[in-house]
Amino acid sequence: MSFDTGSGITPIDFYFDFSSPYGYFAATRIEALAAQFKRDVAWHPIMLGAVFKTTGAMPLPMIPMKGDYSLHDFARTARFHGIDYAQPPKFPIATQSAARAMLHIHAAHGRHRATAFAQATFKAYFVAGTDISDPEQVAVIASSLGLDGAAIAEGIQTPDIKDRLKTVTEQAMARGVFGSPFCIVDGESFWGFDRFDQLRHFLQNGSL
Amino acid sequence: MSFDTGSGITPIDFYFDFSSPYGYFAATRIEALAAQFKRDVAWHPIMLGAVFKTTGAMPLPMIPMKGDYSLHDFARTARFHGIDYAQPPKFPIATQSAARAMLHIHAAHGRHRATAFAQATFKAYFVAGTDISDPEQVAVIASSLGLDGAAIAEGIQTPDIKDRLKTVTEQAMARGVFGSPFCIVDGESFWGFDRFDQLRHFLQNGSL
pLDDT tens by residue, A82-119: 999 999 999 999 999 999 999 999 999 999 999 999 99
Is the confidence at residue B1, as pLDDT, over 50?
no
Is the confidence at residue A6, as pLDDT, over 50?
no
Nearest Cα of chain A lies from the Cα of B100 at a distance, in angstroms, of 25
Q: Are strands B188-191 and B182-185 parallel, antiparallel or unpaired?
A: antiparallel
A193: confidence class by pLDDT, cuts 50, 70, 90? very high
For residue range A67-77, list pLDDT tens digits in order: 899 999 999 99
For residue range B115-143, list pLDDT tens digits in order: 999 999 999 999 999 999 999 999 999 99
Task: Find the mean pLDDT for residues A149-156.
Answer: 94
The strand ranges marked E within chain A are 12-16, 41-45, 182-185, 188-191
How many Cα atoms sit within 13 Å of B45 on the Cβ side?
28
**Cα(first)–Cα(last) distance of chain B, in Å?**
12
Q: How far apart are CA A195 and CA B181, in angstroms?
A: 17
Which residue in B198, B202, B203 has the most chain A C-beta atoms within 10 A of its own C-beta, making it the best mutation to test that interface? B198
Amino acid found at B109: H
The whole-number pLDDT of residue B57 equals 82
CB contact under 8 A, A178 and B65: yes
Of the partner residues A58, A69, A208, the one whose CB lies closest to the CB of residue B80: A208
Give contacts of B179 with chain A, Cβ < 8 Å: 66
Note the ipTM here: 0.92
Q: How far apart are CA A121 and CA A149, in angstroms?
A: 13
Of the partner residues B173, B176, B208, the one whose CB lies closest to the CB of residue A76: B208
Picking from A33, A46, A38, A6, the residue whose alpha carbon sits closest to that of residue A180 is A46
What is the overall mean pLDDT for chain A? Answer: 93
CB contact under 8 A, A56 and B64: yes
CB contact under 8 A, B57 and A63: yes
Task: Find the mean pLDDT for residues A28-48.
Answer: 97
CB contact under 8 A, B56 and A63: yes
Interface of A with B in 24-53 (CB under 8 A): none
Q: Which residues 6+ apart lie within 8 Å of A25 measured at CB? A: A77, A78, A81, A83, A181, A193
Percent of chain B with pLDDT over 70: 96
Give contacts of A56 with chain B, Cβ < 8 Å: 58, 63-64
Positive or negative CA dihedral for A25, A31, A33, A39? positive
The whole-number pLDDT of residue B6 equals 46
In terms of pLDDT, which residue wins out, A62 or A49? A49
Cβ atoms of B141 and B120 closer than 8 Å: yes
The whole-number pLDDT of residue B65 equals 86
B73 touches chain A (CB under 8 A): yes
Cβ atoms of A4 and A10 closer than 8 Å: yes
For residue range B55-109, list pLDDT tens digits in order: 888 888 788 888 999 999 999 999 999 999 999 999 999 999 999 999 999 999 9
The whole-number pLDDT of residue A1 equals 33
The whole-number pLDDT of residue A151 equals 95
Q: Are strands B41-45 and B12-16 parallel, antiparallel or unpaired?
A: parallel
Picking from B83, B23, B24, B38, the residue whose alpha carbon sits closest to that of residue B185 is B38
Q: How far apart are CA B67 and CA A134, in angstroms?
A: 35
Nearest Cα of chain B lies from the Cα of A179 at a distance, in angstroms, of 9
Task: Find the mean pLDDT for residues A129-137.
Answer: 97
Nearest Cα of chain A lies from the Cα of B4 at a distance, in angstroms, of 19
State which residue of chain B sits closest to A189, comparing Cα positions. B69
Picking from A20, A198, A146, the residue whose alpha carbon sits closest to that of residue B72 is A198
**In DSSP terms, which residues pair with B16 in a beta bridge?**
B45
Q: Is A160 helix (H, G, I), strand (E, B) or coil?
A: helix
